[in-house]
Chains A and B, each alone.
Chain A
Amino acid sequence: MNNRLIFAALFALFPAAAAADAPKMDIPVLVEQATSAGIEHVYGGPWEYFVGGGAASFDCNGDRYPDLMLAGGTGPARLFVNRSVGSDNLRFAEMPLEVDEGDLENVTGLYPIDIDNDGYRDLVLLRVGRNILLKGGADCSFSNANRDFAFDGGRAWTTAFAATFEPNAEFPTLAFGNYVDRSAPGSPWGTCHDNALFRPLPGNRLSYAERSALSPGFCALSMIFTDWNRSGTPSLRVTNDRHYYRDGEEQLWRIDPGKLPRLYRRADGWKRVNIWGMGIAEGDIDADGFPEYALTSMGDTKLQTLDEEAEEGRPVYRDIAFERGATAHRPYTGSDLRPSTGWHSEFADFNNDGLLDLFIAKGNVEEMPDFAAFDPDNLLLGQHDGNFFEAGHLSGIDLDRRGRGAVIADFDLDGRLDLLVVNREAPVSLFHNHGGRTDWGTRPMGNWLQIELRQQGPNRNAVGATILVKSGNETRLRKIQTGGGHASGHAGFIHVGTGVAERAQIRIQWPDGEWSPAYRVFANNFVVIERGSSDARYWYP
């Protein structure tokens, strides 16, 4: 189908009245093209796979184009290598994995990270049963490294993951979030599994032989290491599903180097929040260094910000979702007015206007009658007044599919973020960003930068680094993180929309806290910053 036909079809579907009410901002046109791009894949399975449905996006063959591995549930996880050329269409080709077929089954989610510092991204497979660390190699080769890394994948039902490099550690610390302990008496109610923390043993040889329990577990569905208080030492935030826990709540673990994890408690200022926590997105909307968090749930999404009136250093959060128009509590289109069910959430700038947008994957758990059956994904576009505008139906992502995990990445490296959504018992959706919507086609949107960090030695991809992009009086902040969302993660270029700024200064706070000099760059470029280098360099697709 040529573009003209695509647009004609899209515009015919857009509700005219809604479009007329839209703020005068760029609304990205996101065209679903998974099949034509070569991705036909379904995540499915029985009860254990009502949750999960993850995707990992990372470059496995050195061309810097994001490749994809998708969880299959009871079906195998599959690898799709990016073959996109130019920005007209996305193209992927499936590549067989030389891994035990059984290892690729029962996968709920996946996260990419270079665990062993060899320059190849490895993959953490979250599974119903034994979790697996897949060691990445040249040309998208992978091998089960549980034994090499002395990693016991356990037998739990794992649904969340996050990683961080603790100070002076050669290798990352891995956190696994587990769901219901199906073998416990009375399961599934009140039988949440403990979560687990794996710290690498000291020394140059990678070993995860030591496991600590993060107890109690409250049926985690997402977790992320986050430097919520700008202390330089990230804590572990966990969102939990109240559907199964008893006396549980959202959690924040203090993870001090060399010490046992400790939960923040009421005495520390931590407030009890009970939600059907499904996904965590971290984004610093106002670039003040204290991140906001979008927590998906059934019904209202929470948008939490550190309470300005709270005593310094105390994790007291205020929900600003309602005042910012980000509750996304029920379908924004169609006639189904029952509450929504939210899963993956992620902040990103889809229209390059310099403001963070919020994507939420939505979909009924299975056939829960009290919740919306038609529950389209959200695209909440950030506005200059700090509020969000729902543009899912105007952008074209309002499909009748049950979304779960997702990846937001620029798959064709044209500067515009694309979107992949894994759906339960339905084909994955791959949305290609064509630019800003007009009544005559699409137009270029704002300026952008995409930034890659590199450092020598451990943590070569600088997990935990902060990127500040300053243009004029505006500063935009991004973190390099592994974790969050819903069972999905991505690694590669960090995308920053810069609006009308054509120049920017980039400063990096490396994971150990050291600040870089300011790098002067021009917008609409891919920027590679090597630690210690006096100049940033550009990369070209």
Chain B
Amino acid sequence: MPSRTLILAAAAFVALFAGAAPSGDAASPWTEATIGAPTRQADFSGRLSAAQLQALMERGEALFTAKFTTVDGVGRPMATQAIIPTKSKRPIQQSFQRLPGMDSNACSSCHNDPVTGGAGDFVANVFVSEGFTNADFDTTDPQFSNERNTNHLMGAGLIELLAREMTAELQAQRSMALNQARSSGEPHTVRLTSKGVDFGAVTAEPDGIVDLSGIDGVDSDLVIRPFSQKGVIGSLRQFTVNALNHHHGIQAVERFGPRWTGEDDFDEDGVEAEMGAGDVSALVAWQAGRPPPSRIAPENDQWRRLSERGGDVFDDIGCGGCHRPALPLESLVFADPGPVDGAGTLRHGETENGAVYDLALLEWAKSLPRDESGAVLVPLFGDLKRHKIADQQVSALGNELLGQRFVDRDVFMTSELWGIASTAPYGHRGDFTTLDEVIRAHGGAGRDSRDRYVALDDTDRAALIAFLKTLVIAP
């Protein structure tokens, strides 16, 4: 029988080596893990108090800024960047590669200008491909990918809430058309409008079939997908799950776990369950809680006067037709998971621990403008609608070869202009260094306003720029 001394010595030995393990817990200052103990979804369920929401957002910020490591699960040697779990045909030669990814260490590696959660410089561009064929492309040849500048995430919670309300409204209008057609026995056409934005028309037949050929700027399921330059991502949660895999090789369990792939380690990097639902929720909460950009009143008298004039020019030449100064939002209650996601992104009803983040609890929400009905006026300068933005003569913004997720190559979501003064460069590729250049690049649906801008005198053009320069992300 070993002596008491031997037992103690053995225990000390075990403790020493356990402590030196590279994946030591977060309590170890030298740990190379950044995700650490997973967030328990159950601890943040139901309607969160201000303190709970704050705690979840703090966890989200820690994750957003964490430079993930292989201990966390960075790496996807046998999985592509695709949004549908897709195996690589062969192990990837270089785990980090700026073209197909992995291409960054932290979310904030790109989303950092001028604040964490902000936009990215041209150097932070990413290359978007479906990730199914030629997933490991090694060229910037546009036949393999579309190059995209990094969007900012400020006010993203408000954007998603607007999109949810608009989706519900459009789908209700479709249902109304169906009810009318079925009860009358005659086809019934309804215009699809939400928050003053027109999305075309649908015609319901008495037998329940809907003719969708007249819709405009929205997907055929009438779901507003507000995120990405292309407007093809429906929620912050979906964006988060996509991006974690694409950019970091961190695979969220809710899509890449055994429920949908039959594997605990789909990317075969030796780390299972790389990010659970609770941590994805933390990232969502942090992004949803980003304060919106603001509009400053310049202290410089000339700038102030010119920007006021520029606001009028903005209206006069029709910029506000797409870049709508504000859209009304009925509710600041952000449910996570949300109502529009499909399988593979945690959905409403898919967990007993769903949470509600009341954005009204956040300090910045108190200063949001409201209309006479009490609706928040979200000053996004956008319409959450896709438009064709290139034509035969003015085609610089249609400079891509590939469509993306059923959206044609020259069709993009209207860029929200809030914060634009803080997020140069411009354009979906980030290859316009000045606002003047990108305005002049508007073709297609923006052509008329663009032509009117070009026809302005120098003072009015300067006024418009002066106005746009008041739309900032506060540092």
Contacts and interface: CB of A to CB of B under 8 A. Distances in A.
Contact of A472 (B132, B221, B347): B132
A540 B178 contact: yes
A311 to B, nearest CB: 29
Identify the interface centre among B82, B262, B405: most chain A CB within 10 Å of its CB.
B262
Given A385-B262, A522-B221, A539 B210 contact: yes
Interface stretch (B211-219, B367-375, B419-427): B211-219
A161 to B, nearest CB: 29
A538 B260 CA distance: 27
B54 interface: no
A26 B259 contact: yes
B132 A447 contact: no
B85 interface: yes
Interface in B82-101: 82, 84-86
Given A447-B343, A472-B86, A23 B262 contact: yes
Contacts of B237: none
A325 interface: no
Contacts of B210: 537-540
Identify the interface centre among A64, A383, A441, A522: most chain B CB within 10 Å of its CB.
A522
Identify the interface centre among A25, A445, A500: most chain B CB within 10 Å of its CB.
A500
A472 B130 contact: yes
Contact of A500 (B84, B174, B220): B84
B175 A540 contact: yes
7 contacts: A24-B259, A441-B352, A446-B343, A474-B84, A502-B343, A535-B212, A535-B213
Given A352-B343, A537-B210, A538-B212, A500 B406 contact: no
Interface stretch (A32-40, A212-220, A359-367, A523-531): A523-531
Interface string A489-532: 00000000001111100000000000000001111110010000
A353 interface: yes
A523 B259 contact: no
Contact of A25 (B178, B220, B262, B406): B262
Contacts of B131: 472
Given A446-B260, A446-B343, A500-B343, 15 more contacts: A62-B207, A352-B343, A447-B344, A471-B84, A472-B82, A472-B132, A473-B84, A473-B86, A474-B84, A500-B85, A502-B343, A522-B221, A537-B210, A538-B212, A539-B207
Contact of A521 (B84, B174, B207, B220): B220
B263 interface: yes
A441 B174 CA distance: 31
A537 B204 CA distance: 11
Nearest to A448: B343
Contacts of A63: 208
Contact of A444 (B257, B258, B350): B350
Contacts of A471: 84
B20 interface: no
Contact of A445 (B213, B255, B343, B406): B343
A440 interface: yes
Contact of A353 (B219, B260, B342): B260
A438 B263 CA distance: 19
Contacts of B260: 353, 446, 499-500
Contacts of A535: 212-213
Contacts of B258: 23-25
Contacts of A537: 209-212
Nearest to A435: B349
Nearest to A538: B210
A541 interface: yes
A522 B84 contact: no
B399 interface: no
Interface string A69-107: 000000000000000000000000000000000000000
Contacts of B212: 535, 537-538
A405 to B, nearest CB: 29
B259 to A, nearest CB: 5
Contacts of B257: 24
B140 interface: no
Interface in B195-212: 207-212
B143 interface: no
Contact of A539 (B85, B133, B208, B405): B208
B406 A503 contact: yes
A384 interface: yes
Interface string A430-457: 0000000010110111110000000000
Given A25-B258, A540-B208, A503 B405 contact: yes
B434 interface: no
Contact of B351 (A64, A353, A443, A503): A443
A500 B344 contact: yes
A528 B349 CA distance: 28
Contact of B350 (A353, A383, A443, A474): A443
